[in-house]
Amino acid sequence: GAIFEENAARDDEVFQLAISDLSLNDDILQSEKITHSIKFIEPNNPFQAVQEGK
């Protein structure tokens, strides 16, 4: 039982690292998407800017 629990804990650690890595990548993607989409915003349309930022 102990070996299994140790492996499960290690797997969980790896899983958590993978998740945090993914969310970091997602943050980068999101900010790039927002930066990218700003180029398509009409200058006099603040409503669209708010929508894009979500």
* Predicted pLDDT of residue 43: 66
What is the number of residues in the chain? Answer: 54
Residue type, 12: D
How many domains does the chain fold into?
1
Residue type, 49: A
Can you give the pTM of this predicted structure? 0.36
Average pLDDT over the chain, rounded to whole? 71
Taken in order 14, 16, 22, 25, is the CA torsion positive or negative?
Answer: negative
Domain that holds residue 22: 2-53
The Cα 35–Cα 40 span in angstroms is: 10
pLDDT, tens digit, for every residue of 12-36? 888 888 888 877 777 777 777 666 5
Residue labelled with tokens 């990218």: 36
